[in-house]
Amino acid sequence: MPRIALYTLIVCLLAVAAAVVSFVQGSWLGVVWVLLAGLSSNMTWYYLRRGRAGYAQKR
């Protein structure tokens, strides 16, 4: 797993946790956290596929 994919996965998990906490507290700021989680999730998949393609190309 490429390092940047791991970092974006961690950001995604933290954003989901922050969204849950925000919604439990009754704050609408959780919507921003959900959007950030979606963005970082897409980045994680992108970097995973890019890493796999680079690894397969080297073989």
Q: Locate tokens 């700021």: which residue?
A: 29
Answer yes or no: are the C-beta atoms of 11 and 40 closer than 8 Å. yes
The string of pLDDT tens digits covering residues 21-45 is: 999 999 999 999 999 999 999 999 9
* C-alpha span between 54 and 48 (Å, rounded): 10
Structural domain range at position 17: 2-56
Answer yes or no: are the C-beta atoms of 12 and 47 closer than 8 Å. no
Number of structural domains (the chain) is: 1
Predicted model pTM: 0.87
State percent of the chain over pLDDT 90. 81
Pick from 14, 7, 20, 18: which is nearest to 46 by CA?
7
| Mean pLDDT rounded to a whole number for the chain | 94
Output the pLDDT for position 20: 98
Output the pLDDT for position 54: 80
